């Protein structure tokens, strides 16, 4: 957890520990990045209001270093902050003050994505969708042979959509399926994630072949 306010840091660390997590804390973005390398955590809880290197920059750097799940802690629920945070690479966000229960639920939901697909009756099943190859069991995605590094959330989104190509899913449905949010989830999460996904798997993100927008309805995975 990267949080500059000492009281919040102590309080949340205590609460999360009680929930069964192991918590390493950093009070600035730079220390957070060091910890990321040092401790190799399963998930990062990142406050956006940081001294020195701000939360967005920290998020971008952490995201650039790998598919680590990141949950944003933000004091404001303004569009600007949330969208910027999601574009910087966060998988989800909570608004301070946050009940520890809620934070715990978010953390667990994100972690579940990272280990979502269990091998089914068809181990070693690879799906070909154009230039994409999706391995559901191994949770790997390659584009023209090159592996694509996706965060758990991006991966889960791709898996869900590609499960039934051509089927249109509403944002609500995607939120429930991927983010595990209650009915009041924020559809901005979906839009930001789709954007990041497109940036990674589409040739021309502006003209997507795989993750297509269906205006007024939602998204669907393109048939090929």
Judged by the rule CB under 8 A, the positions of this chain that interact with another protein are 5, 7-12, 14-15, 18, 75-76, 78-79, 96-101, 171, 182-184, 187, 216
Q: How far is the CB of 190 from another protein (least distance, A)?
A: 12
The separation between CA 96 and the C-alpha centre of its own chain, rounded to angstroms, equals 19
Q: How far is the CB of 61 from another protein (least distance, A)?
A: 24
Q: How far is the CB of 176 from another protein (least distance, A)?
A: 11
Q: Give the HSE-up count for residue 204: Cα atoms under 13 Å, Cβ half-sphere.
A: 3
Could you tell me if 58 and 34 are in contact, meaning their C-beta atoms sit under 8 angstroms apart? no
Q: Please say which residue, 5 or 126, places its beta carbon nearer to another protein.
A: 5
How would you class 188 by CB atoms within 10 Å of its CB: exposed for 0-12, middle for 13-18, buried for 19 or more?
Answer: middle
Q: How many helices (H) and strands (E) does the chain have?
A: 8, 10
End-to-end CA distance of the chain: 42
Q: How far is the CB of 54 from another protein (least distance, A)?
A: 16
Q: Please say which residue, 171 or 196, places its beta carbon nearer to another protein.
A: 171
Could you tell me if 45 and 73 are in contact, meaning their C-beta atoms sit under 8 angstroms apart? yes
Q: Please say which residue, 123 or 216, places its beta carbon nearer to another protein.
A: 216
Q: Please say which residue, 14 or 199, places its beta carbon nearer to another protein.
A: 14
Q: How far is the CB of 194 from another protein (least distance, A)?
A: 16
**Four-CA torsion 30, 93, 205, 162, nearest 10 degrees:** 120
DSSP strand pairing (70-74 vs 92-95) = parallel
Q: How far is the CB of 78 from another protein (least distance, A)?
A: 8
Q: Please say which residue, 78 or 203, places its beta carbon nearer to another protein.
A: 78
3-class SS of residue 24: coil
Q: Give the HSE-up count for residue 224: Cα atoms under 13 Å, Cβ half-sphere.
A: 16
């Amino acid at each position: 957890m990267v949080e500059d306010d000492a009281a919040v840091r102590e309080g949340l660390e205590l609460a999360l520990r009680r929930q069964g997590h192991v918590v390493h804390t950093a009070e600035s973005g730079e220390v957070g990045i060091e910890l990321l390398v040092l401790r190799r955590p399963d998930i990062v809880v990142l406050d956006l209001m940081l001294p020195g290197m701000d939360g967005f920059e920290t998020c971008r750097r952490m995201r650039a270093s790998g598919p680590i799940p990141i949950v944003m802690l933000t004091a404001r629920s303004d569009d600007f902050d949330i969208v910027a945070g999601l574009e910087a690479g966060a998988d989800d966000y909570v608004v301070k003050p946050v009940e520890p229960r809620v934070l715990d639920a978010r953390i667990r939901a994100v972690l579940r994505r990272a280990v979502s697909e269990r091998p089914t009756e068809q181990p070693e099943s690879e799906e070909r969708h154009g230039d994409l190859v999706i391995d559901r069991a191994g949770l790997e995605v390659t584009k023209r042979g090159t592996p694509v590094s996706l965060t758990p959330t991006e991966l889960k989104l791709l898996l869900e959509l590609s499960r039934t190509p051509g089927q249109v899913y509403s944002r609500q449905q995607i939120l429930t399926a991927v983010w595990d949010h209650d009915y009041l989830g924020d559809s901005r999460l979906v839009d930001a994630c789709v954007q990041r996904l497109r940036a990674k798997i589409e040739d021309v993100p502006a003209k997507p072949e795989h993750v297509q927008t269906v205006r007024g309805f939602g998204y669907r995975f393109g048939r090929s």
